[in-house]
Structure 1
């Protein structure tokens, strides 16, 4: 192949560009698949660490009714049905003593809420019902009627809660199983989807690899020999390569000559030992390096000296 042919270069550049774009898209998809499996592993680890920390849900309305109905209908429940009238009763220090006021109307509102204020499980309702009575007992002294009423209702409520606990445990167990099954089915569906994607990506990457091998074979078969001036530029430029670029050049040689063994000594390029394809790759690397360094060998008056130097430099 004539590498200085504009038509050929444009055609192969177009092929390479298309393959690069395809590889870029495939890399993004591979990253998505890897992130999915990583997030799955992280989620599994988090579940194992937190499964005992988050009580499972129970039907809130039903549980609330079973806990509260008997209590709220008691003759002594009326002071606790609505928020304390702090202003009307002139309880100036109430909010200093009670940090989290609570009442049954607030509990009902949180049960029916549709936003983040909604109770997450029945145990939160239990805590707030207890809070109603402990707040009253904290603010009012033991001789006050409100304190006595709150203490009596709290004892009654705790007894009710103990009787309700077996139902709570059963409902929590059932819902936990339902939620676990739902999560498992969802996870299995996601894994099946990503497994299919991974299989498809593997096939697409295999096609790209085949196309690259075919392109490489075509380029190798059509390589022409370097001209004399090009060989001179290559040999002299090779000696001027930086350490990083020299490493790249040696890798190119090793790719096409498995028997080549680099040494600690400064290498000298043996043109006769390399294939045309290897020489072209080395030439393009050297020329690009020289172009970037604005150090091209183009003067005719240096040609004789370059030829003389080329004869002296051989890789053994």
Structure 2
């Protein structure tokens, strides 16, 4: 640092080059008056430090240079040589600092811009990495869903033919579903029959007309739904359920379907 070398090479800099020899000079009250001792050799070591413990900014150096002189002026009487030398060198230092300040400010601005650009680049890189991770995870989940659907279809296709009694029990189980679960069950039927309207006000569901695949998918869905519904049965009173009217209408439709089926020969 040019300004630091200039101030340390002044003919009056010698009293401030090394730490104050408190014991040798018998300055018993020195540490009571001076909170943070400082000297030019300590500053030089901090400037040259390569282990990351040194100064991070030129303003830190300037603060310690000022501290050297202010300590000397604080401890020594203003009529003493050391006090006068410290005061004179501090004034010269401040003159040098004012000349250097525009360049320091310019460097600070440039560094702040570079740091801001680096932070932005890091943020964009992190966002891109997170987006890629989200896409990869979404693709993996889609693959898992597709595989599960294939396995489900494979299991359904290998199921035996549903008996008349099982169909009757399935129809009865459908009437015990909540309105939301009943809509889910009807959507299963709609997936196999494009003409079936799962959201119609009145539903005419013929159990015997459904494919074996649809019947078993309904069986699995109804079983799981009723298990969950049984666990949660105490949380909402049936008379206060806002879906009760919709559920009643759908259940009536299922009942009509059962009556229609009952008329057919078995």
Q: Structure 2 length normalisation: TM-score? A: 0.63
State the distance in 2 between where 1:229 and 1:257 align: 18
Q: 1:74 offset after TM fit, Å?
A: 1.2
Deviations 1:189-241 (A, max 9, x none): 45444444443333333222322333333444444537859987x979x98xx
Deviations 1:19-55 (A, max 9, x none): xxxxxxxxxxxxxxxxxxxxxxxxxxxxxxxxxxxxx
Whether 1:154 and 2:90 are equivalent positions in the alignment is yes
Q: Match of 2:17? A: 81
Q: Which of 60, 63, 71 is residue 127 of structure 1 equivalent to?
A: 63
Matched, 1:277 2:214: no
If you compute each CA radius of gyration, which structure gives the higher value, 1 or 2? 2
Hey, what does 2:243 align to over in structure 1? none
Q: Which residue of 1 aligns with 2:162?
A: 225
Q: For 2:142 and 2:154, locate their aligned partners in 1 and report how far apart those are by CA, in whole Å.
A: 18
- After superposition, the Cα gap between the structure-2 partners of 1:107 and 1:74, relative to the gap in structure 1 and judged at 3 Å, is same
Distance 1:251 1:289, change over 3 A: closer
**Is 1:255 the counterpart of 2:184 in the alignment?**
yes
Larger RCO (alpha carbons 8 Å, 6+ apart): 1
- Maintained 8 Å contact 1:86/1:92: yes
Cα RMSD, aligned residues only = 3.8
Provide the rounded CA distance (Å) in 1 between the counterparts of 2:55 and 2:64.
Answer: 10
Deviation of the 1:131 alpha carbon: 0.7
Question: 1:160 offset after TM fit, Å?
Answer: 0.7
User: Is 1:93 the equivalent of 2:33?
Assistant: no
Call closer, same or farther: CA 1:146–1:256 in 2, change over 3 Å.
same
Gaps of 5+ in 1: 1-64, 240-245, 262-271, 291-314
CA deviation vs aligned residue, 1:265-310 (integer Å, no higher than 9, x gap): xxxxxxx6994433334446768999xxxxxxxxxxxxxxxxxxxx
Post-superposition CA distance 1:51-102 (Å, at most 9, x none): xxxxxxxxxxxxxx22212211111111111111111111112112111111
Which residue in the other structure is 2:145 paired with?
A: 209
Unaligned runs of 5+ in 2: 188-197, 201-206, 209-213, 231-250, 253-266
CA 1:163 to 1:188, structure 2 compared with 1: closer, same or farther past 3 Å? same
- Per the TM alignment, residue 126 of structure 1 is displaced from its structure 2 partner at its CA by 0.8
Distance 1:283 1:156, change over 3 A: same
Distance (whole Å) between structure 2 residues aligned to residue 227 and residue 114 of structure 1: 87
Question: 2:73, 2:83 within 8 Å by CA — same for their partners in 1?
Answer: yes
Counterparts of 2:218 and 2:62, CA distance in 1? 79
Match of 1:69 in 2: 5
SS in 2 for 1:74: coil
Q: Distance in 2 between matches of 1:93 and 1:176?
A: 43
Number of residue pairs the alignment of both structures matches: 212
Contact 2:185 2:222 in 1 (8 A): no
Give matches, 1:294-313, under 5 Å: none
TM-score, with length taken from structure 1: 0.54
Runs of 4+ in 1 over 6 A off after TM superposition: 229-232, 285-290
SS of the residue corresponding to residue 132 of structure 1 reads: helix
CA–CA distance in structure 2, aligned partners of residues 175 and 116 of structure 1: 18
Structure 1 residue 178, shift from structure 2 partner: 3.8
Asked whether the equivalents of residues 133 and 154 of structure 1 are also in contact (C-alpha less than 8 Å), the reply is: yes
